[in-house]
Amino acid sequence: MEAVPESISFPKTEEAIIEFWDRIDAFQTSLKLSEGRPSYSFYDGPPFATGLPHYGHILAGTIKDTVTRYAHQTGHHVPRKFGWDTHGLPIEFEIDKDLGIKTREDVLKLGIRNYNQACRSIVLRYAKEWESTVKRTGRWIDFQNGYMTMSTSYMESEWWACKRLFDLNLVYRGYKVMPFSTGCKTPLSNFESNLNYKDTSDPSVVVSFPLVEDPQVKLLAWTTTPWTLPSNLALCVSPNLTYIKIIDKKTKETYILCETRLTALYKNPGKNDYELVEKIQGKDLAGKKYQPIFDYFVEKKGSVGFKVLLDDYVRDDSGTGIVHQAPAFGEDDFRVCLVNGVISTGEEIPCPVDSNGNFTAPVQEFLGQYVKDADKEIKKVLKDKGRLIRNDQIVHSYPFCWRSETPLIYKIVPCWFVAVEKFKANLLVSLQDTYWVPSFVKEKRFQNWLNDAKDWAISRNRFWGTPIPIWVSDDGVDKICIGSLEELEKLTGERPDDIHRENIDHLTIPSPRGPEFGVLKRTEEVFDCWFESGSMPFAQFHYPFENKDLFERTFPADFVAEGLDQTRGWFYTLLVISTALFGKSPYKNLICNGLILAQDGKKMSKRLKNYPLPTLILDTYGADALRLYLISSPVVRAEPLKFAQEGVFSVIKDVLLPWFNAYRFLVQSVHFYESSTSTKFQLNVEDALSSKDIMDRWVLSESASLVSFVKKEMKDYRLYTVVPRLLRFIEQLTNWYVRFNRKRLRGRRGWEEARVSINCLFEVLYTITRMMAPFSPFFSEYLYQNLKRIVPDALESIHYLMFPEVRQGAINTQIEENIASMQSVIVLGRLIRDKCKLPLKNPLKELIAVVKPGQEEGLNELKHRIIEEMNVLDVIITSDEKSFIAKSVSPIASKLGKSLRKDAKPVFDKLSQLTDADVNEFIKNQKIEILGHTITLEDVDVVRGFKGDKGTFEAEWDKDLLVVVHINPDASLQEEGFARQVINHVQKLRKKSGIQLNDPIEVFFEAKNELAQALLKGKREGISQAIGVAFVPEAPTAVPVFVETQATLPFLKENIEVQIRIRNLAHTCHVPSLLDIGRRLNVSSPEKFAEHVQSYVASRSYSQLATTLATNGTLDLHFGGQTVSLLNAKHIFSSASQRAQFEDLFEATK
C-alpha cells in the first residue's frame, strides 16, 4: 500500500475521485457488470430546471442515491434515469417576467407559437448546473438517456392515459370554484393550494343587510373578502343555531346575529351595549328577503336571490353566524346557491372577475381594479351607504400561489376533471399495498388526505403544456378524446412531429352527427403539470407504444423518495393515475423526508440570505460530509432540520477525520511491520478470525453484528437507524480498538501479534469501508483504492463490490456486552476525573465498579485495560451493592397525591424514613404497607446513592452501574505520574517534529535537578517500553531534530525539570578505527578511505543495514581489490547510545 499523507482535503480528494469515475466510466460499468441480476426499479420525480438545486433536492437525491447504491451492492441491477419537468407554471412564470407579459391577451398578441418557443428556450436553463451539482454530490444517475415531459413520445403516452380515463367515464368537464392564481392566471389543484400558506393581514368587516319586510332590522354578515360583496346573491344561516334580535344602545340600530357571536360586534359584550329583543331559531329566518348592497345582478337574480338560505356548514366559531353568499367565489356558496335555486346548472354564473384578478363589467364602480386592491374602495362605498358596521384587520393563515407568491382567490372556472371520488375506495386499497418510512406519514397525513380526496382538476388555462386531447362540438354534445398520433392522423388527416398547442389547435374533426353540425375543435386547456409528472412511470418508456415488456417488468417501482410536501403532490398524483389505469399503486416502498429550514428555523430565503449556498458547503467540507450530516439527522424521519454549517463540520471532525486517521495508522503499521521484519505483509483474514485477543474478537464481533443490523434495517428502508449506527462503529473503531492496540500493532508484543492485529484492523476497516460505500461514496472509494493493493483479485472500484456478508462465526454477544460494560466504567471514570480536575496523566490509587450480578467475570478479564486506560493502580469489580450503595425512595406525587389525599404528607414522611434494608425489602416484595395504604414500586422512584467517604471518593452513576474513584493522590504515586508525563511529552514532540511511526529515532534526556534524576532512574525502563525506543541520558554531540524543555509534575511542590531531545536514527562510523584500517590496508590516503566508507554507510537504508549488522555482525566491503569487514558496535553504530558506550570503553582502553 502507498504511504498516506498526514492530512487530507476532502473536497479535493472527492474531485480526484470524480475524475477517476469519469475515466473508468464507473456508473455505466457498474450497470454492465450487474446485467442479468434481479431488477430493482426506481422512479425519480422530475424537477424543473428553471432554478438551481437547493438542499431539499440534495437531501432527496442523497436518499435516492444511497438506497439505489445499496440495492446494487446487494445483487440487483438498478437502472437510474433522470427526468425533467419541462412544462407548466414554473416555465411560463419565468417567461412572463422576461417578456413583461401580464395578461392572457398579451400572450395571444405575441402568438402562441412565439410564446411556446420562448418557453422551450429556457426549459433547460440550469440543466448543466443541475448535472454538475448532482455529480458533485456523488449521485449516480443517467442524464443522457433521461426523459423530458415536453418530448412528443412522453406527451403521446399522456394522451393515451387521458383517453383510457375518458373511456372509463373518469374524465368530465364541469364548473367548480377552484383556488385561482391571479399571478399565473390559472386555477390550481387543491393540493397545490396547500403548498404555501402564510400569515397575512386581511380586512375583517361586519356588513348590514336590511330586511325587505322591515328595513329597520338588519342582518349582520362577516367577511374577510370585501371584494366578493359586489357579487353577493344570498345570505346563509344554520338551521340549528339560535339567533338574536338586539337593539344597539349606542346607535339605536336593530341587528340580527348569532346568539354566541356578540364578540363580532362588541369587544366585551354586556348589558350596557345592547338590549335583547327576541331569540330566533335559524330555520325561522329561511326565505327572508333583504336589500342588496349593490344592484349589479338584481335584474338577473332579484326573483330567486337576495334571501336567507339554510345550511349546516355555517358555524358559530367565527364571524356573526351569518355568511354572505357569492357563488362564483366560494365552494360552499356555489353548492348552497345551487341547491336552493339561486343559480342553476348550465347557466352563466355571475363572475365579474377576469383571470388577472381584475373587476369586469357590470361592476362599473371598480372596473379594471385588482380585487385585493379594491377592498379599500369597497369599504368606503359600504361606509357611505351606511352598511359598514365594523371595520377591523385580521392576521390569519392564508394560501398563496406556490409559484408567483401572490395571494390565491377562489373563483369559478370551467375545468376538465378526473372523477377521483368515484374510485376513492380503490386508492385506499392501493395505499395498503405500500410501505412508507416513516409510517405515520402514510397512516395519518396521506390516508387522511385520501379520505377527503376531491375530483381533480387536471386542466390549466395556459399555453406551454401538453394539450388536452379532447375535441368538442360548439354545442358541447359531441366529445372525442384522442389517444395517439395515429388516431389524430386518422381523424384530422395530419400527424405533426410536435403536438404542442401551436401545431394542433387548428386541427378539427368532422361531427359524427353529420356536416350540418359543424366540426369539433380542441378544448383550449393543457394538462396540469402534476398530471404530467404523475404519468412518468409509463410515459418515460413511451408506453404502450414502445417498451411494453420493459414497463410491465419494472412496474410498480421498488422505491421512490421525495419530501413531505409531495404527499399532496407527486406521491398523490402517481397513486391516482396508476390506480385508475392499472388498479394498483405505482410504488412499493417510499421514503418521505422532512423539510430543511434555515438555522433560525425560517424558510431558506435567497432574499434573506439566511443559509450558506450548497456550492460553498461542497467546496469547503465536501459531499460526503454533507451527505452524512443530512441522512443522520431527523429529516429522514420526515421531521424538519434547521440546517447548521457547524453540523457538517462536526461530521468531518467526529467521523471522517478519525476514520482517515485509523486508515492512516493501518498503512503505517503495515509499513512499520515490513521495514522491521524485512517481510512483505500478506493479507490473511483467517489470522484475524482465529485471534484469541479479546479486543480483536470484540471488534470483529461488532463488525459482523453491524453488517447484520444494516442488512435488516436497510431492508426496511430505515436510514435513520442505519447511519447513526455506522457512524458509531467508526467511533468505536478509532477511539477504542485502535487506541487500545497501538503498542500491539507496532510490534511491542511481538511481530506475530502485530501481524494478527494488522489483519484484524484491515478486515474491519475493509468491511466498514464497503458498508459505508452507499452513504459516503467518495471517501470509501479513496480508501479502497489503496486498500485493494493487498487484496487478491480486487475489482477496479469499490462500487463494483457486493455488500459484506455476515460472518456469523465472529459474532460473540457476550464479548460485546463485556466491552460495553468496560467502556461504561471508563466513561464514568473519565467524568469523575474531569469533575475533580484530575488529569489522566496523574495516577490514582483505586477505581471501584459496582455492577449487576453476573458481570464481574467479564469485567475482571478486562481489568488490566481499565487500569491502563484510567491510570489507576488497582481496579475492584464487585456486585456487592450493600457496601457501596444506600437506597431510598422518593414518592411520585402525581400518582400518590390523588389516592392518598389527606394522608399524603404522613405517608410521604414515612417513605422518606425508610432505611436501606427497608427499601431492599420493598424492592423484593414489589410493595409496602404504610399507614394502611399499599404503596407499589410504580408509585415511587428508587434513588441510589454512594454511601462511602465523599472526601476520599467520588462517584458517578449510569443506570445499574456505579463507578467510584479514589481521588486523593499521594506522594507514593509521584513516580508513576512523572513517567506518564514524560511519555506524553515524548509523543507530543514526535508529532510536532513530523516524525512518522516507522521513522527510527532515539530519545535522550537530561535531568536538570536531583529530584528529576532520582525519578528517572527508577522509571527509565518503563518509559522506554511505552515509547518503543531506548530512553537514554544525555544526547551525544549529534544535532537533535527537535528540542523541547521543562516538563513539570503539577501536584508536587517541587518542580521537576527535564530536557528531552529526539533524534532521527542514522548509522555512524568510528573514524579513528576507519583510519587504522586504512593504514593496515596500505591505502594511499586513509582519510579518503574513511570518507568513502562513511558515504557508503550514509547511503544505505537504515532498516536494511541494521538488519544486516544484527544478523551478520559485520558489513563486508570491497575496496581496491580487498575485502574489508566492518564490525557492528565497533566500526559502525546503529544508534548514538551504542556509539557512546563504545567510545567510553575506547577512551578507557586508550
> Known catalytic residues?
46, 85, 530, 566, 570, 603, 606
The total of other beta-carbon atoms located within 10 Å of residue 564's CB is 18
Parallel/antiparallel/unpaired status of strands 1122-1127 and 1114-1119: antiparallel
Q: Which residue has the cell 341587528?
A: 255
DSSP helix/strand/coil, 586: coil
Q: Give phi and psi for 877, each to the nearest 5.
A: -110, 125
SS3 at position 826: helix
DSSP annotation of 467: B
Return the C-alpha cell found at 712: 435488516
CB atoms within 10 A of CB 951: 8
Of 220, 288, 216, which is closest to residue 257 (Cα–Cα)? 220
Residue 1034 falls in which region: left (phi positive, over 0), alpha (psi -120 to 50) or beta: left
3-state secondary structure of 311: coil
- Of 40, 70, 72, 45, nearest to 57 by C-alpha is 45
**C-alpha cell at position 208:** 348590514
Buried b (16+ CB within 10 A) or exposed e, 602-638: eebeeeeebbbebeebbebbbbbbbbbbbbbbebbbb
- Report CA-CA distances (Å) from 514 to 321, 478, 517, 523, 752: 55, 11, 6, 20, 98
Cα 774 to Cα 61, 628, 655, 711, distances in angstroms: 12, 11, 16, 13
Nearest C-alpha neighbor of 80 from the set 122, 28, 10: 28
Determine contact, residues 176/327, Cβ cutoff 8 Å: no
Cα–Cα distance for residue pair 850/856, rounded to 1 Å: 9
Give the CA distances from residue 795 to residues 26, 592, 650, 930, in Å, rounded to whole numbers and listed in that order.
Answer: 12, 34, 32, 73
Cβ atoms within 10 Å, residue 724: 13
CB–CB of 290/210 below 8 Å? yes
| Amino acid of residue 1052 | L
C-alpha cell, 1064: 532521527
The kind and range of the H/E element at 392 are: strand 388-399
C-alpha cell at 931: 399507614
